[in-house]
Amino acid sequence: MITFKETELNPEILKALDELGFVNPTPIQEKTIPHLLSSERDLVGFAQTGTGKTAAFGLPIIHQIDTKSKNVQAIILSPTRELCVQIAQDITNYAKYTKGLNVVAVYGGTSIDTQIRSLKKGAQIVVGTPGRTLDLIKRKKLKLSTVEYLVLDEADEMLTMGFKDDLDAILEGTPAEKQTLLFSATMPKEIANIAKKYMKDSVEISAGKKNIGAENVNHIYYMVNARDRYLALKRIADINPKIYGIVFCRTRRETKEVAEKLMGDGYNADALHGDLSQAQRDYVMSRFRTKKLQLLVATDVAARGLDVTDLTHIINYNLPDDLEVYIHRSGRTGRAGKKGISISIIHSRETGKIRMIQKKVGKTFEHIPVPSGKEICGKQLYNLIDKVEKIEVDESQIEQFLPEIYKKLDWLSREELIKHFVSAEFNRFLAYYKNAPDLNVSSKSD
């Protein structure tokens, strides 16, 4: 399959895809769409977030939905509210010209009554989180008897978040004669068990190798004393002035502390954790998506469903205990053909864990020294000069002030003016790193 127009998708879908600028399918779409259009066999798909999974399963489902019937024909389960809303919006966009097709998103943290009213109006496709979906089923507001397609998206993450019992209850309540589609970035035993128990004669499709890190991601680690983690994090941010990434912490408390320190030190950062209200969470995520924040400090659970395609860095403030979690974290960068970097800040007794992760990911991790103050000052200085060189000057906004400024600075030569300008912008870094200590430590296990 070379283009979407060469598929059997109906003209209404193709028109919507054309408007969205979709021409060539991604690898997971190229493998999944023909199967779902021609076969009723269940499917297990291995793909990271950001590979085009929603279109891979969504387009064939839209194509095959009976729009004359208002009954629920497809249920799509996803781990978080954010991902649920995103999938529903994507499918709505794909179905823009498919008359009579309704999509409803159901999730916690908002009025269930509003969602019940939407379901009563009729919806052929329901996208939901497991908890809210099961709640609606128990209330008999969401009927499963007419379901023909059941999609488990990011199944491994749903299990990680503790939804196994909910998934079992939903799966057991669906008709035996349906097509089940399971998508997962990894294949832990629990996923294999679900596939074995609830899926029949399934086909396995992969957009890459199972249980490995993304191809475009470089993995590096810095080794410091545990007490110096935050200082190392600051240096990582400072040596990468254009960083746009997520800092993963173990606990809510640590997440808050690290984010507060970063904000106090003048970084464009904020925290994402379970203590935030839904409105606060939406606000932080909106700021991060629009790049008003450079660094988002988050727990793994809080970051579920945050789908940002152009992250430059993932930073493991602490290594996760579960190796699969590392794969999920690092897979958030290096997407859509772009390069990404996964950084781990470790102490000397964690080199064994690094070796285990290397084996799991199938890549060599590079141990590099924490940058020195001198290196950081040089990087920041050249970044500043680059910004000055490329900035767009709007003379209409500053013209009235220029004569006085010229007069004020007339006594400075060109060279002196540059020195004063650089010093004014740069003294903070110079002062902070003037006597900065070496944070590097050697391994105690090598």
Q: Quote the mean pLDDT of the chain.
A: 89
Highest mean pLDDT, choosing among 105-119, 277-291, 358-372, 418-432: 105-119
Taking CA atoms, 386 is separated from 238, 310, 380, 432, in Å, by 15, 21, 10, 22
Average confidence (pLDDT) over 325-342: 84
> Could you report the per-residue pLDDT of 377-392, keeping only the tens digit for each?
888 888 888 888 888 9
Residue 210 confidence (pLDDT): 43
Average confidence (pLDDT) over 9-30: 90
**262 or 444: which carries more pLDDT confidence?**
262
Residue 246 confidence (pLDDT): 97
Lookup: tokens for 272: 């994402």
Cβ-based burial of 64 (10 A; exposed 0-12, middle 13-18, buried ≥19): middle
> Could you report the per-residue pLDDT of 23-69, keeping only the tens digit for each?
888 888 999 999 999 999 999 998 876 678 899 999 999 999 999 99
Residue 213 pLDDT exceeds 70: no
Residue 117 pLDDT exceeds 80: yes
Residue 133 confidence (pLDDT): 98
Lookup: tokens for 282: 């939406």
- Per-residue pLDDT band at 446 (split at 50, 70, 90): very low
Buried b (16+ CB within 10 A) or exposed e, 155-165: bbbbbbbebee
Q: For 6-15, 64-73, 430-439, which range has the lowest pLDDT when averaged over its residues?
A: 430-439
Residue 445 confidence (pLDDT): 47
Residue 305 confidence (pLDDT): 63
- Per-residue pLDDT band at 190 (split at 50, 70, 90): confident
Residue 14 confidence (pLDDT): 95
Residue 429 confidence (pLDDT): 77
Residue 432 confidence (pLDDT): 82
Residue 10 pLDDT exceeds 60: yes
> Could you report the per-residue pLDDT of 69-107, keeping only the tens digit for each?
999 999 999 998 888 988 999 999 999 999 999 999 999
Residue 320 confidence (pLDDT): 87
Highest mean pLDDT, choosing among 123-127, 155-159, 375-379: 123-127
Domains defined for the chain, CATH in brackets: 4-206 (3.40.50.300), 217-370 (3.40.50.300), 374-433 (no CATH)
Long-range contacts of 233-237 (CB under 8 A, 24+ apart): 233/258, 233/262, 233/315, 233/317, 233/345, 234/262, 234/265, 235/370, 235/371, 235/376, 235/439, 236/313, 236/315, 236/343, 236/345, 236/371, 237/262, 237/267, 237/294, 237/295
Q: List 248's β-bridge partners, or say none.
A: 298, 316
Lookup: tokens for 151: 């999609």
Residue 444 pLDDT exceeds 70: no
Residue 211 confidence (pLDDT): 40
Residue 443 pLDDT exceeds 80: no
